[in-house]
Each structure stands twice: as C-alpha cells, then as structure tokens.
Amino acid sequence: MLLADFGTSYCKILNTETRQGPEIIATRDLDAGFIADLATGHNAARRSKHSVNELTALARGGEEIIGGEDFVLLDCGSRDIKFVRYSEGRVVDMGWNAECGASMGFTIELLAKYYDLDYAKIPIPDTGFSITCGVLGMSNIFDAVISGLSETEAVAKFVRGIARNAYRFAGSPERLYLSGGLCDNPLFVGSFPCNVISLGRFVLLEGLQVS
C-alpha cells in the first residue's frame, strides 16, 4: 500500500510493501500524476484513493508511538500547527491553528536560507519576540536589525517567539511530544520552556499505518 502525508512544503511517502523507510520529497518536485492509496495532509483528498483527517492521523500515530495514557502531542508544519491531548488513554482535546501558526515552519526555513544560518550553531536567546503569526512576525526581525541587533540574534528571538506561541497553543504542558520537520531544528526545540520529546517527521504516516 502506498501511504502519503502531503505537506505544504514536503511530502512523506511510504510504500508498505517494501522494506525501505519513508521518503521525503519536496512538494514542488512530486510527480503531478502521483496518487496514494491512503493519505493525509494538504491535497490528500485530491491525490489519494482514500484520505484521513490530519488530526485523526496525528492522534493515531501519537498513540501508537508514545503508548502512554496521558500526553500532549504538537505537530508543527510548514503552514499550520495542530495538537492532540490524551488523558487516561483517550483524546480529550485537540486544536488546529492555521492563522496564529500561519506559515510558521516555512518562514523559519526561509529565514535560514535568506540569512545563511545554521540553527544548530545559534544559541537560544534569553528573550524573544511576542509573535502570533509567522509571516507578520518577520517585521520584528527587520525592526530589530534596524535598531542594531545582528541578523542572527534577531532571527533567534523570532524562532524563540514562534516556539513559545506554539507552546501556549498546546496548553502549556510540562512535557510535550513534538512532531514535524522542526524536530530537526535545535534552536526551535530548545526554545520551549518544558521537556520536549521529538518524534520526528513521520508521526502522521504512522497514524495512516494504524488506520
């Protein structure tokens, strides 16, 4: 069976009939005629025979991977953020935010390319910008640079602000499981004021396998 998580920037593909791991393909490079058997994410309904809601896939994948009865799982994508909260083995809350989390992951990746930054080498700042939108929040960077802050320091404060906003959206838990491409960003992960356990980019694919 061909499974797919159609992200806005990247697609994660898994062929369950082979022993190879999931493949990550830039969405712009995906073949126009590609059709999955089962999929979730952006364009899933259009590019698959059957589709699963992203929150459903996230919940099922989190339950399968984490296995605990009480946890909060936050998925940070290129376009939006979403979370599920489990209590006593059941989903008790979930949320999806495409406005306050607008283009969060995409903006962070874009800034790294524009300013030629390596997030693994940037220290976590003591303070950050108050940000509720990835796109609109970029004005904080420009203002800070004009005021004399270095581009690296300004972007670091931006990333910290983005992480704190996502943390509040998820309900400010003491321990947070994180899903999505930003799991590979040390600056982003380290900016959360709680214990963060990164699960990687394939949680939704795991949810599709359970489905």
| Tens-place pLDDT, residues 25-41 | 999 999 999 999 999 99
Q: Over its length of 211 residues, how does the chain's per-residue pLDDT go in tens digits? A: 999 999 988 999 999 998 788 999 999 999 999 999 999 998 899 999 999 999 999 999 999 999 888 999 999 988 889 999 999 999 999 998 855 555 678 889 999 999 999 999 999 999 999 887 777 788 899 999 999 999 999 999 999 999 999 999 999 999 999 999 999 999 999 999 999 999 999 999 999 999 8
8 Å CB contact between 151 and 120: no
pLDDT tens sequence across 36-80? 999 999 889 999 999 999 999 999 999 999 988 899 999 998 888
Task: Say if pTM beats, i.e. exceeds, 0.85.
Answer: yes
Domains and CATH numbers, the chain: 53-201 (3.30.420.40)
Q: Are 56 and 69 in contact (CB under 8 A)?
A: no
- What Rg value do the Cα atoms of the chain yield, rounded? 17
Query: Cα–Cα distance between 127 and 140 in angstroms, integer?
Result: 13
**What's the rounded Cα separation, in Å, for the pair 114 and 121?**
16
Of 191, 188, 190, 183, nearest to 10 by C-alpha is 183
β-pairing, 175-179 vs 195-200, is parallel
Q: HSE on the CB side for 77, CA within 13 Å?
A: 26
Phi first, then psi: give them for residue 165, nearest 5 degrees.
-65, -45
In the three-class reduction of DSSP (H, G, I as helix; E, B as strand; rest coil), residue 118 is classed as: coil
